């Protein structure tokens, strides 16, 4: 069975992640390199573990999380779908089981908010992991005079944590935001669709989704 460790160490995959991030940097997007994909992988795996899925499903969730943004090397537009096709080629060449490959590429192909849907448990976990990764360190240009709204919102987040509250059947995203950098309203201006998608993904697990900003529940 193909492992998360093998995928993380695969030179081809790492090259695509690195080159995809360079392309997004040229386009002015925030960081989508190893920090983002590793965090997405680990959080997706933790979600699946918290929800009681077996170790192999957790492993597949991590694989999907690590590979989910490789399609950006082709183009930002429809990157989820191109990434799924690329992942199929790579995983098939690595002799991954067809059912497992289908689960992973289904998750990758359904993580972008414009076309995403939690079609399986890997997709639901990946959506929550990917969309909750908002943090200061994702901003490339630290010169605040050149910030656009995406930079401001990410740079304003001083702490971000996604919690699985089993007792209350809720995924809770806690954000601490420096409102001298970006007002909370700006967060919703660009991330509302992502948070609604997180709610849908949480629903796949029969859970709710809650967003707290500076200690106040806003969703």
The model's pLDDT over 72-103, given as tens digits with 9 standing for 90+, comes to 999 999 999 999 999 999 999 999 999 999 99
Regarding pTM above 0.75, the answer is yes
CB burial string 148-185: b at 16+ within 10 A, e below = eebbbbbbbbeebebebeeeeeebbbbbebeeebbebe
Mean pLDDT of the chain: 95
Whose CA is closest to 198, among 131, 98, 122, 107? 131
Q: Which pLDDT does position 146 carry in this prediction?
A: 67
pLDDT at 145 over 60: no
- Give the confidence band of 216 by pLDDT, cuts at 50, 70, 90: very high
| Residues 108/64, Cβ–Cβ less than 8 Å | yes
HSE-CB of 41 using CA atoms within 13 angstroms: 22
Q: CA 20, 25, 26 angle in degrees (round to 5)?
A: 100
């Amino acid at each position: 069975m193909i492992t998360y460790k093998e995928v993380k160490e695969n030179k081809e995959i790492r090259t695509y992640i690195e080159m995809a991030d360079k392309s997004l940097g040229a386009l002015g997007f925030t960081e989508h390199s190893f920090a983002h994909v590793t965090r997405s992988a680990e959080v997706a795996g933790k979600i699946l573990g918290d929800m009681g899925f077996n170790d192999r499903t957790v492993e597949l969730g991590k694989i999907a999380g690590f590979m989910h943004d490789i399609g950006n090397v082709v183009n930002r537009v429809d990157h989820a779908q191109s990434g799924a096709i690329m992942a199929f080629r790579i995983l098939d060449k690595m002799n991954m089981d067809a059912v497992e490959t289908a689960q992973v590429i289904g998750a990758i192909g359904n993580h972008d908010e414009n076309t995403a849907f939690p079609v399986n448990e890997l997709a639901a976990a990946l959506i929550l992991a990917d969309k909750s990764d908002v943090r200061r360190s994702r901003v490339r240009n630290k010169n605040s005079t050149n910030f656009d709204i995406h930079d401001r919102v990410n740079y304003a987040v001083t702490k971000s944590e996604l919690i699985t509250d089993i007792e209350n059947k809720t995924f809770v995203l806690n954000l601490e935001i420096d409102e001298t950098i970006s007002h909370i309203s700006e967060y919703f201006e660009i991330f509302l669709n992502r948070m609604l998608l997180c709610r849908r993904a949480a629903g796949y697990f029969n859970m709710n989704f809650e967003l707290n900003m500076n200690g106040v529940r806003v969703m």
